[in-house]
Amino acid sequence: MSDDIWILGISMTSFGKRPESDMIDLAEEATLAALDDAGVTMADMGVLAVGNLMNAAAGVGQMLQKQVGQTGIPVYNVANACATGATALRTAMMAVKAGECDMGMAVGVEKLAGAGLLAGGSKKGDSDTWEPHGRQGAVAPLDGRVGTEIMPGVFAQIGMEYGHRYGGTSFELFARISEKNHGHSTLNPKAAYTKAMSLEQIMGDIMIAYPNTRPMCSANCDGAAAAIVVSDAKLKTMSLEQQRRAVKVSASVLTTDPWEEGCQVLPNVNTLTRNAAKQAYEQAGVGPEDLDLVELHDCFATAELVHYDNLMLCEEGGAVDFFESGAPFRDGSKPVNVSGGLQSKGHPIAATGIANIWEVCHHLRGEAGPRQIPDAKVGLAHVIGLGSACGVHILERSAA
């Protein structure tokens, strides 16, 4: 018996400011749309995994069940930084793969519009006197002294380090990556921002952490995404149309940092991504040359550049040449972030991992509308969360 897992249905809400909907309303919208897309109901689900980062202790999965149907199934509440959605999907997949059920659902949801800068580091309390506190027992914030946990700073350093090591980077180059993604977003009606931006606009905007200006940073917003997964055996009992639209999950990998002296001070998003990519390609039996499109975690323009290399879309050290070749543009040889990426589509943290998969699935089904990559057969979705966690999924079009 095959242990293949398929995505039977998938959905995402529009991303952006959604003041009319609370967190559970957004999750419900994505859930019901995914069930409709799959042609099944909550009664068919054997497991529910719900990802949410900002309210991780609130039992979001159980609250969603109350709104869409309580059937007594196991519910997992998942939080894993920006890899939360991908981790929720893996949770549902693992239950199906283990034979505990033949169908399950993963949901990711976040309300982040107006949240401002999501930052780490220490904060001063009410007292006028500094006292040792926190894991480091410091009497002053460590952020900026031994490194930084603030995401714009981390990813700015990552991009600058790549340039120092391999050369060829510049403020303008990183801005051009953002220009590409804002251009792609004009074809995605579900993106938070759907307006093209010129290079001059991007470079002239507010500097957040050099070399990333505001349009080069992912946008905090509201949104949800949901996916229905099904076993191979169960799929074979379903209609030919359901089989035709199902998308095979050829690889599902989650990695964390291996021990390195340097990553005890600063996060290293490169090693765990490269490790995840290697495992995924081996699992799926494909290589980067077989990919027809990639949705990667461009939380900042600098991140997109380094992940060209980490996902082995180019030779090591060749990310600048890869971009300059035009390969990652929608009409290039290896389209990257055709959705507009996190910089335009938006980044409601827990929803992003499933939303990236939603984009790839729609191209593999031939349902991506004006941004469709012709004859797309294989795609890769990637997310990374500081801490760190990296999720990589390789998806393939159904042969039915």
Q: Which residues are catalytic?
A: 82, 347
* Token pair recorded at residue 255: 């990695």
* Token pair recorded at residue 140: 């002053």
Q: Which residue has tokens 């050829």?
A: 250
Pairing of β 48-51 and β 103-110 = parallel
211: phi then psi, degrees, rounded to nearest 5? -100, 30
> In angstroms, how far is the first alpha carbon of the chain from the final one?
18
Cβ(368)–Cβ(325) below 8 Å: no
List the Cα angle 74/109/389 in 5-degree steps.
80
Q: Which residue has tokens 């600098």?
A: 302
Q: Please state, as a whole number, how many other Cβ atoms lie within 10 Å of the Cβ of residue 55.
A: 16
Cβ(169)–Cβ(305) below 8 Å: yes
Q: Which residue has tokens 């909550």?
A: 42
Cβ(15)–Cβ(29) below 8 Å: no
Q: Specify burial of residue 112 (Cβ count, 10 A radius: 0-12, 13-18, 19+).
A: buried
**What pairs with residue 111 in β-bridges?**
none
The SS3 of residue 260 is coil
Q: Which residue has tokens 């249905």?
A: 9
Question: What is the dihedral sign for C-alpha 367, 373, 379, 384?
Answer: negative
Q: Give dist(CA 81, CA 361) in Å, integer.
A: 23
Cβ(148)–Cβ(121) below 8 Å: yes
